[in-house]
Amino acid sequence: MGRPAWAQIDPSGDWAPRFDEDWEERIPGPEIGDYLGLPINEAARLRGDSWDAALVELPENQCREHASDYGWRGPSNLHIWQEVDRATQKVIAYHTHLSAYGAEQTIWMDGRPHPPEYAAHTWEGFSTGEWDGDALVITTTHLKENWIRRNGIPRSDLATARVHVMKHGNYLTVAVIVYDPVHLTEPFIRTTDFVYTPQLQMAPWPCEVVDEVDRPAGQVPSHLMGANPFLDEFPANYGIPPEATRGGAETMYPEYRLKMKDMKVLPRPPKKVLNR
Amino acid sequence: MKRARQQVSYFARRRAAVWIFAAAAVVGLAAMPGRSGAQQASSQPSAAAAPDYSKAEVHVLPVQGNIYMLVGAGGNITVQVGNDGVLLVDTGVAQMSDKVLAAIRSISDKPIRFIINTHVHPDHTGGNEAIAKAGSTIAGGNVVGDIGASAGNQAAVIAFQAVLDRMSAPTGQQAPTPEGAWPTETYTTPERKMFFDGEGIQIIHIPAAHTDGDSMVFFRRSDVISTGDIFVTNRYPIIDLQRGGNVQGVIAGLNRIIEIAIPAAIGGNDVLQEGGTMVIPGHGRLCDVADVVFYQEMVTIIRDRIQDMIKRGMTLEQVKAAKPTRDYDPRYGATSGIWTTDMFVEAVYKSLAPKQ
CB contact B274 to A (< 8 Å): yes
Which range among A63-77, A180-194, B142-156 shows the weakest confidence by mean pLDDT? B142-156
What confidence score (pLDDT) does residue B150 get? 65
CB contact at 8 A, A257 and A220: no
What confidence score (pLDDT) does residue B22 get? 37
pLDDT at B71 over 90: yes
pLDDT tens string B208-218: 999 999 999 99
**Mean pLDDT calculated for residue range B96-121:** 98
**Mean pLDDT calculated for residue range A156-167:** 97
| Contact across the interface for B326 and A46, Cβ inside 8 Å | yes
| Contact across the interface for A50 and B71, Cβ inside 8 Å | no
Query: CA-to-CA distance for B1 and A271, rounded, in angstroms?
Result: 74
pLDDT at B8 over 50: no
**Cβ-based neighbour number of residue A268 at 10 Å:** 12
Threshold 0.90, pTM exceeds = yes
What confidence score (pLDDT) does residue B45 get? 72
| Contact across the interface for A209 and B270, Cβ inside 8 Å | yes
In chain B, which residues have their Cβ closer than 8 Å to the Cβ of A125?
A: none
CB contact at 8 A, B268 and B254: no
**Cβ-based neighbour number of residue B285 at 10 Å:** 23
Going from the N-terminus, what domains does chain B have, and what CATH number goes with each? 2-290 (3.60.15.10)
Which range among B11-25, B133-147, B228-242, B326-340 shows the weakest confidence by mean pLDDT? B11-25
| Contact across the interface for B272 and A44, Cβ inside 8 Å | no
Range B149-155 contact pairs with CB under 8 angstroms and sequence separation of 24 or more: B151/B184, B154/B180, B154/B184, B155/B88, B155/B111, B155/B112, B155/B113, B155/B114, B155/B115, B155/B131
Nearest CA among A92, A139, A147 for reference residue A123: A147
Give the chain A residue whose CA is nearest to the CA of B250.
Answer: A218
Confidence grade of residue B138 (pLDDT, cut at 50, 70, 90): confident
CA dihedral B180, B185, B187, B193 (to 10 degrees): -130
What confidence score (pLDDT) does residue A275 get? 54
CB contact B340 to A (< 8 Å): no
pLDDT at B43 over 80: no
Q: In chain B, count of helices (H) and strands (E)?
A: 12, 13
Give the chain A residue whose CA is nearest to the CA of B258.
Answer: A60
CB contact B61 to A (< 8 Å): yes
pLDDT at B32 over 80: no
What confidence score (pLDDT) does residue A273 get? 62
Minimal C-alpha gap between A271 and chain B (Å): 33
**Mean pLDDT calculated for residue range B29-42:** 44
**Between B147 and A210, residue with greater pLDDT:** A210
pLDDT at A118 over 90: yes
ipTM, two decimals: 0.94
What confidence score (pLDDT) does residue A21 get? 75
**Mean pLDDT calculated for residue range A39-55:** 97
Fold of A13-33+64-196: Lipocalin (2.40.128)
Query: CA-to-CA distance for A218 and B263, rounded, in angstroms?
Result: 17
Confidence grade of residue A36 (pLDDT, cut at 50, 70, 90): very high
- Residue B69, classed as helix, strand or coil, is strand
pLDDT at B41 over 60: no
Secondary structure of B186-231 in the HEC alphabet? EECCCEEEEEECCEEEEEEEECCCCCCCEEEEEECCCCEEECHHHC
Which DSSP helix (H) or strand (E) runs through B86?
A: strand B85-89
Domain ranges for chain A:
13-33+64-196
Mean residue pLDDT of chain A comes to 93
CA dihedral A236, A238, A240, A244 (to 10 degrees): -100
Query: CA-to-CA distance for A41 and A154, rounded, in angstroms?
Result: 11
- Residue B152, classed as helix, strand or coil, is helix
| Contact across the interface for B275 and A117, Cβ inside 8 Å | no
